[in-house]
Amino acid sequence: MVHQKDTSVTRVPKTWFITGSSRGFGRVWTEAALKRGDKVAATARKLASIADLKEQYGENVLTLELDVTKPQQVKAALEQAHTHFGKLDIILNNAGYSLVGTIEEANADEVRALYETNIFGPIAVIQAALPLLRKQGGGHIIGVSSNLGHVTYPVIGYYCSSKWAFESIHESLAAEVKAMGIKVTIIEPGAYATEFGSPESLKFSQGLDIYTDFKAQFVSGLRNLERGNPNATPEALFKVVDAEQPPLRFFLGSHNLPSVREAYRERLATWEAWNEVSVAAQG
């Protein structure tokens, strides 16, 4: 009798640290990770918004109050989570919001506040996590960006700009920590039916009359966008985090690649058309 060797591999549960676990992708991914048997340090600005996770998933979840704009709180939360679970395999930077307003309308304080959450918050998480990941010999940092990290829309230009900055920070980070056994992936969702359009995830600049009609047309166009089902995304995320060689960038959704391909086609055509002038400027 010939005995076949069992080549199946038992999956080792992973431990996650997730910011913005109370709603949207953060909530969906937190629950999906827990349902598959992983452990999660789930964080939110209001602890009450994630209290039910503890009731449902018991010792597999650690709920922590966290405002990513407070670096000392970020550091304390990561250290508490690492001590509690003994390791952190995945750091998922998900917290963020969008500022609605044209480039002229938004004031400096509004833009600074946006960057405090969308850029300086994730930086605080990364900088606090890296010593812990190095100490344990590796890990995976995942930043939730957007297809708007490659293309832009009017009216939410400052939000787009925060995602362009987010992308470059993570790309540089990936090169800097690769030799340390730390992986980096940028998740880039397209339009999804999440709570991202809720008052908690949107802030509005005071409008100027000159842009009223333009913004109305823009908002009307957004309403017609086909939106994906956020509950369809966990399996894709799990394939990324379980991969031996995860991608640096990963689109979520079916519309991202065509729109980005078109954007780069137009950019390349412009650069090519002006190449003679550009080369002459080399001296």
Annotated active-site positions, please? 145, 159, 163
183 token code pair: 């992986």
Asked if residue 117 lies in contact with residue 171, where contact means CB atoms within 8 angstroms, the answer is no
Within the chain, residue ranges assigned H as helices are 24-35, 51-57, 71-85, 108-115, 121-136, 157-177, 212-223, 234-242, 256-273, 275-280
Q: Which is it for the CA torsion 221, 223, 226, 228, positive or negative?
A: positive
Rounded distance, CA 257 to CA 81, Å? Answer: 36
Cα-to-chain-centroid distance, residue 1: 53
Rounded distance, CA 117 to CA 18, Å? Answer: 15
